[in-house]
Amino acid sequence: MSSGQSEFATQLESVRNEGLKALEQAAMPEQLEAWRVTYLGRREGKLTLAMRGLSAVPPESRPVVGAVANQVKTALEEAFAARKQSLKALALERMAQHEKLDVTLPGRPAPMGRLHPTTQTIREVTAAFTAMGFQVVEGPEVELDEYNFELLNIPKGHPARDKFDTIWVDQLDANGDMPMLLRTHTSPVQARVMQKMQPPIRIIAPGKVYRYEAVDATHEWHFHQIEGLAVDEGITFANLKATLYDFARRIFGADRRVRFRCDFFPFVEPGVDMSIDCFQCKGKGVIKIGNRTEPCRLCKETGWIEMMGAGMVHPRVLEAVGYDSRKYTGFAFGMGVERIAILKYGIDDIRHFYTNDVRFLRQF
C-alpha cells in the first residue's frame, strides 16, 4: 500500500470505529437521525468527507481502496439499520410493559340522547291522528295578523284579541299597523291550508306558539299546540265528538270518558271545550288515602280535566278562504302539547320543558 492509500484507509477505519461507537449512544429516534446525518449524510457526512481523500490515492490503487470504502459504508449502514430495528423493538417491548390494555374490561357507558318530552308527545298525538287518516302540515311561527286573526273571524278591535296576549313584530306597514306577530295559536294553519287545498281536508298541525304572558308553574310565554281540521261535505258535530273520543282513548287509555261543554272561539260555531275524566280521582273529585278522603288537586275537585278547544268551523271562516259554506262544513280543534304531557306524566311545572335540566329530561 502506498502512503496515500494507507492514510486514506486509516481515515475510513476511524470514521467506521467512531461511528459504530457513537451509534451505541443513540437511543432516541432524534438521536438516531442526527447520527445518520453526521456519518452517512450525503453532503457533509463524515464518510462523504473522508471519501474526498480518495483523490490523493494513485489511480491504480483506487479499486482496492474503493472496495474498503464500500465495506465501511456498508458496515455503517447495516449497523444503523440494526440499531434502528432494535430500538423499535425495545420501544414496543416497553409499550407492552407499561401501556397494557385489558380489552376484557367493560367499556365506559356512552350517554344516549333521547327525544324531548315535548317531541315525544307531539309524535304520539300526531300518530293517533295519522292513524285516523289525518295528514301532518306545518305553518310559520312568524305569522301575519291576517292569518292569526282576520281570516279566523277576529277582526281588528274584536274583544277576542285581548284573550291572545300577542307578541308583535316591531315593523309598521303603509297604514301604520303592525302586520306581523309571533303566532298566538296554531289556528292560522287552518286558513293557510284551506287557501291552498280543496276539500276533503283532514290535517293536523303541530307547532310552536307564543303569548305575551308572565311565566309561572302553569304558564309559559312559548309553548306548543296541535291543531286539527277536517272539512268536507256533510261533516257534523258527531264526527268531531267521535274523532276526539277516539284520540282521548288512544292517548289516555281505553276506559277514558270525555265531556264536551259550550265554549266560545270566534272561528267556530258552536264552540266547545273537551275534558276527560280525571285519571287521578277517576272522576270522583276526591281521592281516598287510607280511610281519609282528600280533595283531588289535579282536577280541582271537578272530576274533569280540560283538554282542548274545538268546534264546527265558522261559516265566515270557510267563506273567507273562498269555500261555499252551504256545501262544506268542518270541525277544528286545538290543544296544548305541554299540557298533555303534564297530565300524562304528572309534571308539576311547565317551566321544566324549557330549562333543559337533564334530571328532568332523563325521566322520559
Name the residues that contact ligand PHE, by CB under 6 A. 185, 187, 265, 268, 271, 309-311, 332-334
Q: Helices 117-130 and 237-252: crossing angle, nearest 10°? A: 130
CB neighbours of 191 closer than 8 A, spacing ≥ 6? 147, 151, 152, 317, 320, 321
Least distance CB 309 / ligand PHE (angstroms): 3
Name residue 181's beta-bridge partners: 143, 168
How many whole angstroms separate alpha carbon 318 and alpha carbon 314? 7
Grid coordinates given for 304: 274533569
- Cβ-based nearer residue to ligand PHE, 35 or 265: 265
Residue 131 and residue 127: Cα distance in Å, rounded?
6
Give the nearest distance from C-beta 155 to ligand PHE in angstroms.
16
> How many residues make up the chain in this entry?
364
Name the DSSP letter for residue 56.
G
Query: Is the bond preceding residue 111 a cis peptide, omega within 30 degrees?
Result: no
Minimum gap (Å) between residue 208 Cβ and ligand PHE: 13
The whole-angstrom separation of Cα 212 and Cα 150 is 19
Q: Which is nearer to ligand PHE, 36 or 192 (CB)?
A: 192
Q: Cis before residue 58, ω within 30 degrees of 0?
A: no
- Least distance from ligand PHE to the Cβ atom of residue 211, Å: 9
Distance in Å, CB of 105 to ligand PHE, minimum: 55
Answer for the pair 354, 220: CB distance below 8 angstroms, yes or no. Answer: yes
Closer to ligand PHE by Cβ: residue 191 or 268: 268
CB of 243 to ligand PHE, least distance (A): 13
Extended beta strands in the chain, E state: 135-136, 142-144, 167-168, 180-182, 201-210, 222-232, 258-263, 268-277, 286-289, 292-295, 304-313, 329-336
Nearer to ligand PHE, 303 or 309 (CB): 309
Question: Rounded to the nearest whole angstrom, what is the least distance from the CB of residue 112 to ligand PHE in the complex?
Answer: 35
| Smaller CB separation from ligand PHE, 117 or 334 | 334
Instruction: Provide, rounded to whole angstroms, the least separation between the CB of residue 193 and ligand PHE.
Output: 13
Closest CB to ligand PHE among residues 165, 177: 165
Name the residue nearer to ligand PHE (CB basis): 265 or 328: 265
CB distance 206 to 122 below 8 Å = yes
Phi, psi values for residue 88, rounded to 5°: -65, -45
- C-beta closer to ligand PHE: residue 185 or 224: 185
